[in-house]
Chain A
Amino acid sequence: MTKINTHIGRRAFIRNTSLASGGLVLGFSFLNSCKPEQAKEMTGTEMPNEWFEMNSYLKIGDNGMVTVYTPNPEFGQNIRTSMPMLVAEELDVDWKNVVVEQAPYHAEKYGFQLTGGSTGIKARWIPLRMAGATAKQMLMAAASQTWQVPVEEITAEGGILKHAATKKSAGYGEMASVAATLDVPVEVQLKEVKDFKLISRSHKNVDAKKIITGEPMFGMDYQKDGMLIAMIVHPPAFGMTLKSVDDEEVKAMPGIKDVITIKSFKEGFQKHGFDTNAFPELAAIVGNSTWEVMQAKKKLNVEWKPITPNTEIVNGFFGQETRNTPAGLESTQGHKAQMEALASIPGNMVRKDGNPEAAFKNAAKILERSYSAPFLAHNSMEPINAFAHVEGNKVKIAAPIQIPSFIIPTLESSLGITKENIEMELPRMGGGFGRKGYAHFVVEAALISQKVNAPIKLVYSREDDMTTGIYRPAYHATYRAAFDENNELTALHIKAGGIPESPLFANRFPAGAIDNYLAEEWSIDSNITVGAFRAPRSNFMAGAEQAFLDEVAETMNKDAIQFRLDLLKRAKENPVGEDNQYDAERYAGVLELVREKSAWNENNETKHRGVAAYFCHNSYAAHVLDVKMENGKPVVEKVVCAIDCGVVVNPDAATNMAEGAITDGVGNAFFGGLTFKDGVPQKNNFHQYQMIRMKEAPKEIDVHFVQNEIDPTGMGEPPFPPVFGAVANALYKATGQRHYSQPFITKKEVVG
Chain B
Amino acid sequence: MAKFNLKINGQTQEVDVDPTTPMLWVLRDHVKLVGTKYGCGIAQCGACTVHLGDNAVRSCQLPVSAVGEQEITTIEGLSENGDHPVQQAWLEIDVPQCGYCQAGQIMSASALLKRTPNPSDEEIESAMNGNICRCGTYTRIKTAIKTAANAENV
- Hey, which chain A residues are within 8 Å of B45, CB to CB? 381, 686, 691
Q: A214-B35, A214-B103, A686-B45 known; A205 and B133 CB under 8 Å?
A: no
Task: Evaluate contact between A664 and B135: CB separation under 8 angstroms.
Answer: yes
CB distance from A401 to the nearest CB of B (A): 14
Q: Contact check, A430 vs B139: say whether CB atoms are below 8 A apart.
A: no
For the complex, what is the distance from the CA of A47 to the CA of B137, rounded to whole Å? 34
> Contacts A216-B34, A290-B28, A381-B134: A686 and B42 contacting too (C-beta < 8 A)?
yes
CA distance in complex: A429, B137 (Å): 16
A361 CB within 8 Å of chain B:
no
A43 contacts the other chain (CB 8 A):
no
Say what secondary structure dominates the interface of chain B.
loop
Answer whether A700 and B139 are a contact pair too, CB < 8 Å, given A289-B25, A693-B129: yes
B25 and A291 form a contact (CB under 8 A): yes
Q: Which residues from chain B contact A657 at a C-beta distance below 8 Å?
A: 97
Give the chain A neighbours of B140 by CB distance below 8 A. Answer: 656, 659
B residues near A660, Cβ cutoff 8 Å: 97, 135-137
Who on chain A is nearest to B94 by CB?
A204
Most A CB contacts (10 A, CB to CB) among B44, B90, B97 go to: B97
Q: Which one of A379, A383, A429, A699 lies within 8 Å of B38 (CB-CB)? A: A383
**Chain B residue total in the interface (Cβ 8 A):** 61
**Chain A 557-587 interface residues, beta-carbon cutoff 8 Å to B:** none
Q: Distance in Å from the Cβ of B91 to the closest Cβ of chain A?
A: 5
Indicate whether A153 reaches chain B with its CB closer than 8 angstroms. no
Interface residues of A in 525-584 (CB under 8 A from B): none
Interface residues on A, range: 35 or more
Set B42, B97, B134: member contacting A691, Cβ < 8 A: B134
Please indicate the chain A residues that have their CB under 8 angstroms from the CB of B47 in the complex: 381
How many angstroms between the C-alpha atoms of A697 and B76 in the bound complex?
A: 28
Interface stretch (choices A72-80, A103-111, A276-284, A316-324): A72-80
A694 touches B125 (CB 8 A): yes
Instruction: Specify which chain A residues have a CB less than 8 angstroms from the CB of B103 in the assembled complex.
Output: 211-212, 214
Given A291-B22, A694-B128, residue A223 in contact with residue B91 (CB < 8 A): no
B residues in contact with A77, CB < 8 Å = 97
Pairwise interchain contact B106-A212, C-beta atoms closer than 8 A? yes
**How far does the alpha carbon of A177 sit from the alpha carbon of B18 in the complex, in Å?**
56
* Residue picked from B29, B32, B76, most chain A C-beta under 10 Å: B29
Q: Is the CB of A291 within 8 A of B29?
A: yes
Asked if B141 is at the interface (CB within 8 A of a chain A CB), the reply is yes
The answer on a CB contact under 8 Å between A214 and B142 is no
B55 lies within 8 A of chain A by Cβ? no
B101 within 8 A of A: yes
A291-B94 contact, Cβ under 8 Å, with A430-B99, A462-B39, A686-B40: no
- Nearest residue (CB) in B for A639 is B139
Taking CB atoms and an 8 Å cut-off, the chain B residues in 10-69 that contact chain A are 17-18, 20-22, 25, 28-30, 32-42, 44-45, 47
Chain B residue numbers with a CB within 8 Å of A459 are 38
Please, how many angstroms separate the alpha-carbon atoms of A235 and B62 in the complex? Answer: 30
- Assess the A75–B90 pair: CB atoms within 8 A: no
Q: How far is the CA of A664 from the CA of B96 in the complex (A)?
A: 15
Q: Give 12 A-B contacts (CB < 8 Å), ordered by A residue.
A: A211-B103, A218-B37, A220-B37, A291-B25, A381-B47, A428-B98, A430-B99, A653-B94, A685-B42, A693-B138, A694-B141, A695-B126
Shortest 3 CB-CB contacts between residues of A and residues of B:
A214-B35, A430-B100, A663-B136
Residues in chain A within 8 A of chain B (CB atoms): 75-78, 204-205, 207-209, 211-218, 220-221, 223, 229, 254-255, 289-292, 294-295, 379-383, 428-433, 459, 461-462, 652-653, 656-657, 659-664, 667, 685-687, 691-695, 697-701
Taking A382-B98, A383-B38, A687-B44 as given, write out 20 further A-B residue pairs in contact, using a Cβ cutoff of 8 Å, ordered by the A residue number. A76-B98, A223-B34, A254-B18, A290-B38, A291-B21, A291-B25, A381-B100, A383-B39, A430-B98, A433-B134, A462-B39, A462-B42, A656-B140, A661-B136, A667-B136, A685-B40, A693-B132, A694-B129, A695-B126, A695-B129
